[in-house]
């Protein structure tokens, strides 16, 4: 397997060096750090606090109401336009 050279700031290098174990290469260190910080999104799934859940539920309800009102308005406009066309056709 090949290697890559990367550039990092000196302060970051010092922080990495401080975390590096005596028997560990920098590659081993980076692997260890990356393994420790790998997050599985499923671990925290569904863990809203009660307040957050209530707030989200209210936001969804408000969004549904707005969507429903917009749909209703468009339906009424379409029905009015259809009725106007029928009236025009009857008078023609």
Ordered by start, the domain boundaries in the chain are 1-38, 49-92
pLDDT band at 66 (very low <50, low <70, confident <90, very high): confident
Taking residues 29-45, what's their average pLDDT?
81
Higher pLDDT, 39 or 23: 23
- Is the pLDDT score of 86 beyond 80? no
| Residue 16 contacts residue 26 (beta carbons within 8 Å) | yes
4: nearest Cα among 19, 26, 23: 26
pLDDT band at 49 (very low <50, low <70, confident <90, very high): confident
Higher pLDDT, 10 or 66: 10
């Amino acid at each position: 397997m090949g290697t890559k050279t990367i550039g990092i700031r000196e302060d970051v290098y010092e922080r990495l060096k401080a975390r590096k174990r005596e028997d560990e290469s920098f590659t081993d260190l980076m692997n260890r750090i990356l393994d420790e910080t790998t997050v599985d999104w499923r671990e925290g799934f569904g863990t809203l606090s009660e307040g957050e859940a209530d707030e989200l539920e209210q936001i969804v309800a408000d969004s549904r109401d707005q969507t429903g009102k917009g749909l209703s308005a468009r339906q009424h406009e379409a029905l009015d336009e259809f009725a106007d066309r029928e009236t025009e056709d009857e008078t023609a």
